[in-house]
Amino acid sequence: MTKRILVVDDNRLIVNLLKVNLTSAGYEVLTAADGFKGLATAVAERPDLIILDVMMPEMDGFEVARQVRNNTLIAHVPIIMLTARSASDSIVAGLDAGADDYMAKPFEINEVLARVKAHLRRSRTERSLNPLTNLPGNIAILEKLQQLVQDSGPFAVIYTDIDNFKSYNDAYGFLQGDVVLRALGLILLHAVRKWGNPHDFVGHVGGDDFILCTTPDKIDGICQEVIACFDAEIPKLYDLADRARGFVVGYSREGQPVEHPLITVSLAVVTNEHRPVDNHWQIAELASEVKRVAKQMNHSIYIKDLRSGRPTAVEGQLQRQIELGKTPRVALLINDKILRLVAPTILKRSCVDVLLSATLHEALVLPIDGIVVEWALLSDEDKARLKEASLRGLRIILLDCPAGETELWGAERIVCQRRPYNLTLWWEFFKSARETIASDAQSALDTAGHGCHA
């Protein structure tokens, strides 16, 4: 959209010079010959920037600037003042009146154009910021999503939403609710700095909705960090009684007491890894679908959209697995609170049956196809038993395993991971076991089918 510049000056030569050069630079130019007309034009046309002469009859530039700043419709418009008076007191008076910049006559037209461009850029950035969190708002978010689609490189968009936020606002007031929103904004920035890329994007859509743009390889680290920080810090914003109870008491429309859970955070992840994404509307649509699934959980969670867009032969086999009860079983022996909540949800959505175990002995006596275990939880005896199990074909993911510890084990059936834990890798690692089961299930179906025709 073409930016519009209002030039207010009683010198016709100056007005014409600026109009010709600004028009050549691609701007639409409005003009006014005195302060009264300039103010009226500013209110009626709402330009993107005003170039304002100081010395004019009847209403000088200082007064025009003051009245612009006192009018809510145009108070945000940048003002560059022009004057033949270069004394410091005149410059100070102009800045005090509301000017953003000051140029003395005679001026270099290239410098004027450069300053116009700089002020328009800064104005656009400031206007797109969410005033509560100071994060980029809807204008910048839209541009970022469009850029991701156009660039066609691998991307991940994480939509973040607070669960039960309305009940918190009702109980503690909107000012305290704003504290929660600012805290989540800081948590997102922290997570990106710790686990993301240098140029990842964090934006505030509005209310309790945030958006984060990164690459697929950074999803798990960022999401796990967000959930860990949120669940550790946000409960501190409740009073002690509500925190101890684990809920706040509200009231229904009928006046009946209702127990509302403490707030949690849901993260819906959309990528272009498994399907093409053609436009930014599709990103928003997919994220809404995933978010609906995430918000059904009663704890903080992140969920990735792993769908390819249309059923495939492999996905058909997976559906048969579910119908036949032939999904692979994986035991989790982990103390990490976030993983104990998140991992079962993600793996179950990938057709993996998950069992939480308290000890290695408890896990190994179960009929399992794989196990995820924290290295720090294993005794020497446990390690020996796990090595033996790996040689028998058990698939193992070891978390935070020191380098070189498992070199003599069945390496093709073992993966060692350090933080951040890549849950997509878990799914892919157990997929081979899952596909073997699917193949067996298909063979059973084929055999049964031939038997019917015999």
**So what's the pLDDT on residue 289?**
86
Six-digit token string for 293: 């699934």
Name the average pLDDT for the chain: 85
Domain with CATH 3.40.50.2300 in the chain: 4-128, 313-447
**So what's the pLDDT on residue 309?**
59
**So what's the pLDDT on residue 444?**
47
Determine the Cα–Cα distance for residues 344 and 372; give it in Å rounded to an integer: 11
Break the chain down into helix, strand, coil percent, rounded to 5. 50, 20, 30
Instruction: Give the H or E element holding residue 157.
Output: strand 156-163
CATH number listed for the domain at residues 4-128: 3.40.50.2300
Output DSSP code: residue 198. T
Taking only the tens place, the pLDDT of each residue in 215-253 is: 999 999 999 999 999 999 999 999 999 999 889 988 877
**So what's the pLDDT on residue 423?**
81
Taking only the tens place, the pLDDT of each residue in 361-382 is: 898 988 888 899 999 999 989 9
Cross-strand pairs, 249: 259
Reduced to 3 states (helix: H, G, I; strand: E, B; else coil), residue 261 is strand
Mean pLDDT of 401-429: 74
Determine the Cα–Cα distance for residues 389 and 394; give it in Å rounded to an integer: 6
pTM greater than 0.85? no
Question: Is the separation of the CB atoms in 22 and 29 below 8 Å?
Answer: yes
pLDDT at 431 over 80: no
- Nearest Cα to Cα of residue 397 among 386, 407, 385: 386
Phi, psi at 331, each rounded to 5°: -95, 140
pLDDT at 435 over 80: no
**So what's the pLDDT on residue 454?**
34
Domain with CATH 3.30.70.270 in the chain: 138-304
CATH number listed for the domain at residues 138-304: 3.30.70.270
Determine the Cα–Cα distance for residues 440 and 445; give it in Å rounded to an integer: 9
Q: Cα separations (Å) of 273 from 10, 64, 154, 277, 421?
A: 60, 55, 7, 9, 19
**So what's the pLDDT on residue 448?**
46
Output DSSP code: residue 287. H
Q: pLDDT: is 88 or 3 the higher one? A: 3
Q: pLDDT: is 434 or 293 the higher one? A: 293
- According to CATH, the superfamily of the domain at 313-447 is Response regulator (3.40.50.2300)
Phi, psi at 196, each rounded to 5°: -95, -165
**So what's the pLDDT on residue 401?**
83
**So what's the pLDDT on residue 339?**
82
Highest mean pLDDT among 70-84, 89-103, 185-199, 368-382: 185-199
- Nearest Cα to Cα of residue 430 among 349, 347, 359: 347
Q: Which residues of 370-379 are buried (b: 16+ CB within 10 A; e: fewer)?
A: bbbbbbeebe
Q: pLDDT: is 314 or 352 the higher one? A: 352
Taking only the tens place, the pLDDT of each residue in 173-183 is: 999 999 999 99
pLDDT at 443 over 80: no
**So what's the pLDDT on residue 419?**
82
Mean pLDDT of 106-123: 92
Mean pLDDT of 393-422: 77
Phi, psi at 198, each rounded to 5°: -55, -30
Q: Look at 61-75, 137-151, 307-321 and tell me which has the smallest mean pLDDT.
A: 307-321
Sorted by sequence, the CB contacts under 8 Å of residue 217 that are 6+ apart come out as 422
pLDDT at 451 over 60: no
Percent of the chain with pLDDT over 90: 44
**So what's the pLDDT on residue 105?**
85
pLDDT at 434 over 80: no
Determine the Cα–Cα distance for residues 384 and 180; give it in Å rounded to an integer: 48
**So what's the pLDDT on residue 234?**
92
Instruction: Give the H or E element holding residue 199.
Output: none
**So what's the pLDDT on residue 284?**
87
